[in-house]
């Protein structure tokens, strides 16, 4: 991608938009600076960002001034940015309902356990947020390194799907 191209818009969706999708938005805005512009939203937003997610982002020097929990309806409005990619980051294994995005952006499911549901003492619960950041950072690093301009749509879709699995993320990183 050259500087003449507008950044590609990426929406991270989760149910409550309070932790995973917020962290993913911050990571991609840092790693994909100039090439990607990240957003996050929820199908049933909590209306607040989890304090542990905010603390983690601040500790890692991510900007947090504009971070907020919001509905995906903001991105379905006529004046909303057109999305090129939509990734769900909610966890199917936890019987969590993942939102489905209408339209034709490339999409994939990159499910992760909800760190907000982690149990244990405060240190153990904060560790769940750090693990979420680590996993998202790895997946997003692989995504931002994909040769988007040279991949067919089918090949790109396969790579996006592979990134969503732990094994696939490791394999895609070595392609």
Interatomic CA distance for residues 52 and 128, integer angstroms: 10
Instruction: Evaluate whether residue 159 is within a structural domain.
Output: yes
When divided into structural domains, the chain yields a total of 1
| Spans of the chain below 50 pLDDT | 1-3, 93-94, 168, 170-175
What is residue 174's predicted lDDT score, i.e. its pLDDT? 47
Instruction: Evaluate whether residue 1 is within a structural domain.
Output: no
Interatomic CA distance for residues 33 and 46, integer angstroms: 28
For the chain, the C-alpha Rg in angstroms (whole number) is 15
What is residue 71's predicted lDDT score, i.e. its pLDDT? 93
What is residue 3's predicted lDDT score, i.e. its pLDDT? 46
Tell me the two tokens of residue 129: 């947020």
Tell me the pTM.
0.89
Instruction: Evaluate whether residue 164 is within a structural domain.
Output: yes
Instruction: Evaluate whether residue 64 is within a structural domain.
Output: yes
Task: Give pLDDT tens digits for 27-45.
Answer: 999 999 999 999 999 988 9
What is residue 97's predicted lDDT score, i.e. its pLDDT? 60
What is residue 96's predicted lDDT score, i.e. its pLDDT? 54
What is residue 24's predicted lDDT score, i.e. its pLDDT? 98
Instruction: Evaluate whether residue 65 is within a structural domain.
Output: yes
Instruction: Evaluate whether residue 119 is within a structural domain.
Output: yes
Instruction: Evaluate whether residue 74 is within a structural domain.
Output: yes
Which range marks the domain in which residue 44 is found?
Answer: 8-173
Residue 3, SS3? coil
Instruction: Evaluate whether residue 114 is within a structural domain.
Output: yes
- Domain holding 53: CATH number? 3.40.50.2300
């Amino acid at each position: 991608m050259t500087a003449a191209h507008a950044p590609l818009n990426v929406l991270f969706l989760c149910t409550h938009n309070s932790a995973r999708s917020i962290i993913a938005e911050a990571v991609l805005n840092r790693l994909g600076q100039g090439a990607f512009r990240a957003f996050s939203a929820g199908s049933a937003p909590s209306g607040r960002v989890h304090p542990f997610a905010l603390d983690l982002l601040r500790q890692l020097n991510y900007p947090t001034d504009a971070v907020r929990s919001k509905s995906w309806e903001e991105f379905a409005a006529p004046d909303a940015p057109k999305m090129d990619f939509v990734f769900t980051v909610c966890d199917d294994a936890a019987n969590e309902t993942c939102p489905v995005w209408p339209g034709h952006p490339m999409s994939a499911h990159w499910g992760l356990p909800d760190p907000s549901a982690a149990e244990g003492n405060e240190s153990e619960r904060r560790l769940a947020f750090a693990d979420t950041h680590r996993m998202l950072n790895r997946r997003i690093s692989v995504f931002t390194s994909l040769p988007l301009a040279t991949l067919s749509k089918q090949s790109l879709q396969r790579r996006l799907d592979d990134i969503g699995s732990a094994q696939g993320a490791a394999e895609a990183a070595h392609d």
